[in-house]
Amino acid sequence: MSHFTFKAKKPNGEIYSGEKEAGDRYELYRMLRESGDEIVEFKERSGLSGIHMNVSLGFLTDHVKAVEKINFARNLGSMLEAGLALSRALSVLERQSRNKKMKQIVGEVMSEIDKGTTFADALGKHPKVFPPIFVSMVHAGEQSGTLAESLKVVATQMDSSFALERRIRGAMMYPAVIFTAMILIAILMFIFVVPTLMKTFTDLKVELPFATRVVLGVSDLIRNDGLLLAIAIILVGGSLFWWSRKPSGKSFFHATIMKIPLIGGLVQEVNTARTARTLSSLLGSGVDVVESVSITAMVVQNVHFRAVLNRAAEAIKKGDLMSKIFAEEGSKLYPVFFAEMMSVGEETGKTGEMLLGVAKYYEEDVDQRTKDMSTIIEPVLIIVIGAAVGFFAVSMIQPMYSLVNAI
């Protein structure tokens, strides 16, 4: 046991100090949470060593990675399927977890369940870790008695979404690295190489062609006003980033991305795949249709696709078919194939299965598109690099020819 002195905050916001004996910091946290209080900071004095430790709650803000959430759902589903009680399975996962944030959250969920709270409601108190789709599918599993199966389904859904994002990031990584290296090399040349050559041409009074004057102008700008240029770039970039977080900015940027060759088609298929898989998982777990569409709208990132889903949820409340909404209002965003397969699913009563097939189809297509992009990007980058190097070389060689002709 360890002795803790702490500061905690009551539900009304009042800060107070106190002392408690607890096995570890997590037990202390759970003890105070049970009374509705929240720890601000604490000092731990071990009974063995007598060493004081000043600890802030920074460890409670450790990021929970997507992989950890996926493993949590999959492992919990497997243990429940094997016959373990929910409380015991959660206890095992709490002891096994190496992430302090995840360990603390699982402990809180266990405390809530011990008070009589449902598993879904306990998870719902941690929306930053467990998204609405996770909570809704757990709720549906509890209601239908198929919690283990629901957890495995949500693990599969999250795993597929994570794999999709990882493939896209991987495809973008190579051009991003090359582009960054090109910018850095260009800046170094403008700062150190160009001024030396320009001094030589100026001393020899060589007439400079237009291309050379452009290079010289950029070099002077970077060397003389580099700080102001950097500040201007940061301000412009920061302003665009701030605007991109606003509804109008999101609408503009998301619409613009859709019009970029190659990228636009990829964005469409990614959002279609995510919509199909999420809807399939939710409907397959027994979640209400309107709730399923509303949750899917939260999962989809592009605001224009999200708007279609929100309109679909409202239309379904009025008695319209899902497929009709996607075929009419969403026809400019969602492919015709998506609406057709949804229509077939509604006619046969197998909407979830049909959408799962759609999700797999577009996920495979996205995978192939990312591979094709990687193949296309490489020669494009070579051409761009060659053009930049060629322009620089010509701008440096032309004055030399003028000097030779003058001689």
Cα distance between residue 106 and residue 92, in whole Å: 10
- Which one-letter amino acid corresponds to residue 407? I
* Residues found in the chain: 407
Quick one: pLDDT at residue 48? 38
343-352: long-range contacts at Cβ-Cβ below 8 A with a sequence spacing of 24 or more?
346/321, 346/322, 351/279, 351/280, 351/283, 351/322, 352/279, 352/280, 352/281, 352/283, 352/284
Query: In whole angstroms, how large is the CA radius of gyration of the chain?
Result: 29
Answer for the pair 389, 215: CB distance below 8 angstroms, yes or no: no
Report yes or no: 152 and 76 within 8 Å, Cβ to Cβ: no
- Is the torsion defined by CA of 239, 240, 246, 247 positive or negative? positive
Three-state SS at 186: helix
pLDDT value at residue 54: 39
H, E, C per residue of 250-316: HHHHHHHHHCCCCHHHHHHHHHHHHHHHHHHHHHHCCCCHHHHHHHHHHHCCCHHHHHHHHHHHHHH
pLDDT at 2: 63
Q: Rounded to an integer, what distance in angstroms lies between the CA atom of residue 147 and that of residue 140?
A: 8
DSSP code per residue over 26-90: HHHHHHHHHTT-EEEEEEEEETTT--EEEEEGGGGG----HHHHHHHHHHHHHHHHTT--HHHHH
Digitized pLDDT (tens) for each residue of the chain, 407 residues in all? 566 777 777 777 677 777 777 766 656 766 777 677 776 666 665 443 333 333 444 444 447 888 889 999 999 999 998 888 898 999 999 888 888 888 889 999 999 898 888 998 899 888 888 888 888 888 888 887 888 888 888 888 888 888 878 877 877 787 888 888 888 988 888 888 888 877 777 777 777 888 888 888 888 888 888 899 899 999 999 999 999 888 899 899 999 988 888 788 888 888 898 888 888 888 888 888 888 888 888 888 889 998 889 888 888 888 888 888 888 866 788 888 898 998 898 888 888 889 889 988 988 888 888 878 777 887 888 888 888 888 888 888 887 776 666 55
Under a CB-based contact definition with an 8 Å cutoff, are residues 278 and 159 in contact?
Answer: no
A 10 A CB-CB count for 346 gives 15
Non-local CB neighbours of 271 within 8 Å, separated by 6+ positions: 300, 301, 302, 305, 333
CA-wise closest residue to 39 among 10, 64, 61:
10
Whether the Cβ atoms of residue 365 and residue 166 lie closer than 8 Å to each other: no
In the chain, the amino acid numbered 354 is: M
pLDDT of 23: 60
**What pLDDT is recorded for position 66?**
85
CATH class held by domain 149-407:
mainly alpha
Cα gap 321→211, rounded to integer Å: 62
Q: Where are the beta strands (DSSP E) in 95-206?
A: none
